Structure 1
Amino acid sequence: MGHYARIGDVLTWYDDHGAGEPLLLLHGGLGDSRDFDGLLDDLTPHFRVLRPERRGHGRSPDAPGPTGYASMAEDTIRFLEDVVGGPAHLLGHGDGGTVALLTAIRRPDLVRRAVLVGAVFHHEGLVPELRAALAEHGVGQVPAPLALAHEEVSPHGAGHAQDLWERLMTMMSNEPALRREDLAGADVPVLVMSGDRDVVSLEHSVALYRGLPTASLAILPEATRSLIAEHPGLCGRIAGDFLRGATAPG
């Protein structure tokens, strides 16, 4: 069942499943809570799973202010404080993984364990082909499947998907820009997960893993940016075991 929570100027839609320690699922850019449908069977028997949709995404209306990882992390921190009421586990994919990382760095007291799927700590972690395409051709047109999925639930009309896409792609070209030493602030157990064919380079995922104080690494073979949709059962089991402490960080 869905709910709305007003946190400052931001109206956030979220749903709530299961019982146990709270776990936030943080979706990727131009995604929404539906991106995690395939993980619920593995996670809800063990956790209270909350799926907030960031401002302008899914059923959450857009809000004034810059589109950037800093504001996304701040919204997540306030959601943890005001809705969850304390620390939780985080599982973020894509932009949501980077938001989870920033949240853990800024407020490790609010994060128990975190799974970062396809996350970057620096925008240069994207594969060179994607960075070159952005530099040469700009943000381009939003892919039609993303636009259609967005319009199915968004409170905004046609055209919002393209506007949001342009803001997100501009953000990805310049953010985040964390240094290796900044990662030490995320002093919680973290699992770095990625596909070996993700738009995040394998070298960057390994650098993220090595830069975190307490981390494990899972690289899924033959998996792309859509690894959660491609391998929901495997991703759910790996993430669930880690979050329950069944696998110790390496």
Structure 2
Amino acid sequence: MFAMPTRPAVDHTQPGPAAPEDDGRTVRPGDCVDGGCYVDVGGHPIWHFDSGDGSPVVLLHGAFAGASSFGAQIPELLKSGWRVLAPERAGHAHSPDDARPFHYSRMADDTITYLDTVLGAPSRLVGWSDGAVVALLVARRRPDLVDRMVLVGQYFNSDGKVADGITDSLLVGSETMRFLSAEYDAVSPDGPDHFPEIHRKTMEMITSEPEIDLTTLAEVETPTLVIQGDRDEVTVAHTLDVVDALGDARAAVLPGTHLLPLESPDVFNPLMLSFLAGDPPAEWDL
């Protein structure tokens, strides 16, 4: 589903050289704006935030959102010594849309291309909402690229979706959609007239996907923490089924909604940081 955006919390990226004209877009690889820069990912200009000198953590946002939805996590990750990368998928926030439909599988392939292009080495993934589906698919297809991952607030097939959730409010003209449209219009290089197309493509995807057979998750051996709010868009039973299906996973249910990382960072962040750092000792010397 979606993660409600906020404005970027950090902005210390300096502009870089502009690349030659490639596809007629108003943005090109090398252009920088709002604390991040554009990189070429499979022939498409993708905006990303990249800061810090430690081991890499890649933040994967939800639908109708961008890197700024992690505004409560980025400063804490940087303060803890991580290198933080937050790419915005095509058609989201600063990244221009293209003619392709939205599918989780395609988003995972684009993310793999991004990881290969920008890092070329394993990283830790934090996927929230739609980003959790993308992270899981990346770990299944390219386990060599993922050291461990945190999956937040997402069902992986329709059996895990709560009734009367956020999807029902994502209708044209709703207060939620007016807010999301205004956020998109403020930063998208495609201009304010393009949001209806983004809405159409997103709704086509999230009303039919994902439909992942949980029995296929046994092949994912990446250490994983699956987190949700107790009033999230996914049932607790589904989260526990996902954890049981994965090869090496733990579950955490925290007080909160689908906006848990934004509404309760004081609870969410320490758990995220602890898991990203590694497992606790197998034995305690007390």
Is the shorter-chain TM-score for this pair beyond 0.5, marking a shared fold?
yes
> Post-superposition shift, 1:80?
0.7
C-alpha RMSD of matched pairs (Å): 2.0
Moved more, 71-80 or 200-209: 200-209
> Post-superposition shift, 1:160?
2.2
1:179 partnered with 2:213: yes
> Post-superposition shift, 1:139?
5.0
Q: Which residue of 1 aligns with 2:4?
A: none
Q: Which residue of 2 aligns with 1:212?
A: 246
Match of 1:93 among 128, 145, 161: 128
> Post-superposition shift, 1:161?
2.3
> Post-superposition shift, 1:242?
0.1
- Structure with max Cα Rg: 2
Match of 1:241 among 271, 274, 277: 274
> Post-superposition shift, 1:113?
0.5
Indicate the SS of the match to 1:213. coil
Distance change >3 Å, CA 164–CA 248, structure 1 → 2: farther
Cα contact 1:105–1:185 (8 A) shared by 2: yes
Please give the alpha-carbon distance, in whole angstroms, between the structure 2 residues aligned to 1:107 and 1:175.
Answer: 21
Cα contact 2:155–2:233 (8 A) shared by 1: no
1:68 partnered with 2:103: yes
Identity %: 38
Distance change >3 Å, CA 248–CA 209, structure 1 → 2: farther
Count of paired positions = 245
Judging by fraction of residues, say which structure has more helix: 1
Distance change >3 Å, CA 220–CA 248, structure 1 → 2: farther
Q: Which residue of 1 aligns with 2:51?
A: 17
1:167 partnered with 2:201: yes
Cα contact 2:184–2:192 (8 A) shared by 1: no
Cα contact 1:115–1:190 (8 A) shared by 2: yes
> Post-superposition shift, 1:248?
7.2
> 1:71 is matched by which residue type in structure 2?
R
> Post-superposition shift, 1:144?
1.3
Moved more, 26-35 or 177-186: 177-186
Please give the alpha-carbon distance, in whole angstroms, between the structure 2 residues aligned to 1:11 and 1:248.
Answer: 43
1:75-86 mapped onto 2 (5 Å cutoff): 75-86=110-121
1:189 partnered with 2:219: no
Indicate the SS of the match to 2:253. strand
> Post-superposition shift, 1:9?
2.9
1:56 partnered with 2:87: no
1:135-154 mapped onto 2 (5 Å cutoff): 140-141=172-173, 143-154=177-188
Which structure carries more relative contact order (alpha carbon 8 Å, separation 6+)?
1
> 1:119 is matched by which residue type in structure 2?
Q
Q: Which residue of 2 aligns with 1:116?
A: 151
Please give the alpha-carbon distance, in whole angstroms, between the structure 2 residues aligned to 1:218 and 1:248.
Answer: 19
Which runs of no fewer than 5 residues in structure 1 stay unpaired?
none
> Post-superposition shift, 1:4?
1.0
Q: Which residue of 1 aligns with 2:7?
A: none
Q: Which residue of 2 aligns with 1:227?
A: 260
Please give the alpha-carbon distance, in whole angstroms, between the structure 1 residues aligned to 2:214 and 2:207.
Answer: 19
Distance change >3 Å, CA 8–CA 41, structure 1 → 2: closer
Runs of 4+ deviating beyond 3 Å? 137-142, 246-249
Please give the alpha-carbon distance, in whole angstroms, between the structure 2 residues aligned to 1:246 and 1:177.
Answer: 30
Which runs of no fewer than 5 residues in structure 2 stay unpaired?
1-12, 14-35
Distance change >3 Å, CA 247–CA 120, structure 1 → 2: farther
Q: Which residue of 1 aligns with 2:33?
A: none
Please give the alpha-carbon distance, in whole angstroms, between the structure 1 residues aligned to 2:235 and 2:193.
Answer: 31
> 1:220 is matched by which residue type in structure 2?
L
> 2:89 is matched by which residue type in structure 1?
R
Q: Which residue of 2 aligns with 1:129?
A: 164
Please give the alpha-carbon distance, in whole angstroms, between the structure 2 residues aligned to 1:70 and 1:105.
Answer: 11
When normalised by structure 1's length, the TM-score is 0.91
Please give the alpha-carbon distance, in whole angstroms, between the structure 2 residues aligned to 1:201 and 1:66.
Answer: 28
Cα contact 1:106–1:185 (8 A) shared by 2: no
When normalised by structure 2's length, the TM-score is 0.80
